[in-house]
Amino acid sequence: MQTIAQAQRALSSGQTTARQLVETALERIAAPGGEGSRVFVRVYEEAARASAEAMDGLRRVGREPSPLAGIPISIKDLFDVRGERTAAGSRVLKEAAPATRHAAVVSRCLAAGLVPVGRTNMTEFAFSGIGINPHFGTPKAPWRREAGHVPGGSSSGAAVSVADGMALAGLGTDTGGSCRIPAAFCGVVGYKPTARRVPLEGVLPLSPSLDSVGPLANSVACCAAIDAVLAGEALPEVKRLELRGMRLAVPGNMVMEGMEPAVAEAFNRALNRLSNFGVRITHLNFPQFERIAEANKTGGFSAAEAHVWHRAYLADQPEVYDQRVRARLERGAGMSAGDMIALIAARRDICADMDRATAPFDAVAMPTAPIAPPTIDSLANDADFTRANMLALRNTSLGNFLDRCAISLPMQRAGEPPAGFMLMGETMGDQRLFAIAAAVESVLKE
C-alpha cells in the first residue's frame, strides 16, 4: 500500500516515473479476476497515459506544477468532468447532458498535476453507507474477498481503488460517512473535512446542508495532501501532535451500542495502547447525540433535501431507481417547511452546545462503524439491509450534523475484520486534526 510521499520520493529521485505509476494502476484495474470492472464505471487509459507523460516531461525540466504531479487518483462518479455525464451511480441520468466544465475540485486536482485514472462506482446518488449498486455491480471489500463483503458507501469504488492499488488516492464525498465508512470497511484512511473548506460546485448534491468532499488514501499524510489541493491551500507538512498529554473524549452513549465483538476488541485495544503512550482518555456521555437523533425524527436533512432535487425524476421514471434508494428519497416528501425550520434551529443549538462540551479535549474518539463489513448476500433482505445501513451510518453522521472534520484510521490487526478508529475534531480544526491523527496512526500501525 504505497503512500503518496513514497511515490513522490521515487519520482523526485528518478526511481520511477508518472507513466510507470499510471501503468501499474491501469494494470491493476484490468487484472483478470480483479475488482476493476466493478470499481470503475469509466477508465481514462489514453488520457491518463498522456497526462503522466506530460508530467514526466515537466518534471525533467523542473516545471512540474506541484510535488503531487504524476500521482494517479480516482474520481467518484459524482463529480463533473467536462464532456462527460455525471451519472452518480444511476441509470436515471443516462441521458443527462454532459458537463460543460469540470467540478471545482477536479480542476484543482488537474492544476496540481494529479492524474485521474477513471470514474469510480458508488451507491446510487450517494444515498447509503453500505456500497451496494444493483446497476453496475458492487466492488468487494479486500477482506476475505472470496466471501464477498460490502465495501461501504457511498464512495465504494473510491475505497477499493485505493486498497487494491488502482490509485494512490480517491476523491469521495461525505454526507453521512461516505468517505469514512468505506475507508473503515476497506482498511484505508478516509477524511471528512469541515464542509465549507472545499467547494461543492460541480458536485451532484445529496444534501447541501451536510455534503462535503474528501479524500481516501493510504495514510493521514496522503489525505492531508489531497485535502489541501481540494481546499485550495498550500501543501502541509503534517507534524504529529505529542501523544503524551493528548486528551481524547470517548463517548459512552449511543455510539457504542450494537458493537460487534471484533470491533469492540480492536477499539479497546487501540485505546489501551494510546493510554500506554500517555494519551489522557476520558469516558463520558454526550447528551447532544440523543438530541441529534430527536431532531432528525421528522426526517433529517438528507431525505428532504434530496427529494427536492429528485422529485421530477421520481415522478417521471421511479422504476429506474434502486428501489432501496427510492424508498429513502420518497420519505423526504413528508417533511414540512416548519419541520425544516425547526431542524435548522435545533442543529444550531446542538452544535453550540457540543462545542462547549468538547472544548477541554483535543478530539472525540469512537469506532467509525460498530460493525465489520457484512457480506453482500447477507443483505438480500430489505430489513437486514436497513439495519446494517443504519448502524454503518450512525456514528459517522454525527460529524456531518455537527459540521465538524473527522477521519477514520484502520485499527485492525492482520487477519482481523477491518474496523475504523474515528477521530472527530472541531469545526475548522482540520489541520490540528491531521496532527492528532498522524500521532494516533503511528500507534495503531505498530
Q: What is the pLDDT of residues 298-334, one digit of tens each?
A: 999 999 999 999 999 999 999 999 999 999 999 999 9
Task: State which H helix or E strand residue 249 sits in.
Answer: strand 247-251
Task: State which H helix or E strand residue 75 sits in.
Answer: strand 72-76
Residue 355: CB partners within 8 Å, gap ≥ 6? 426, 427
Query: Are 367 and 255 spatial neighbours (Cβ–Cβ below 8 Å)?
Result: yes
Strands 169-173 and 406-410: unpaired
Regions of the chain where pLDDT drops below 50 = none
DSSP E strands in 52-159: the ranges are 72-76, 115-120
Options 51, 90, 128, 154, the catalytic residue: 154
Give 192-204 as a DSSP string.
Answer: E--GGGS--TTB-
Among residues 67, 73, 264, which one has the least CA distance to residue 162?
Answer: 73
Options 178, 207, 219, 302, the catalytic residue: 178
DSSP E strands in 322-376: the ranges are 363-367
| CA–CA separation, 273 and 256 (whole Å) | 19
Give pLDDT, residue 166.
Answer: 98
Query: Are 202 and 104 spatial neighbours (Cβ–Cβ below 8 Å)?
Result: yes
Helix extents (H) in 112-219: 156-163, 180-186
Please, which residues bridge with residue 280 across strands? 247
Give pLDDT, residue 1.
Answer: 85
Options 74, 76, 156, 161, the catalytic residue: 76
Q: What's the pLDDT tens digit per position in 146-160? A: 999 999 999 999 999
Q: Which domains does the chain have, with CATH numbers?
A: 4-231 (3.90.1300.10), 247-444 (3.90.1300.10)
Instruction: Find where cell 444511476 sits.
Output: 90
Active site residue 76: yes
Among residues 249, 275, 242, 259, which one has the least CA distance to residue 423?
Answer: 249
Active site residue 140: no
Query: Are 398 and 423 spatial neighbours (Cβ–Cβ below 8 Å)?
Result: no
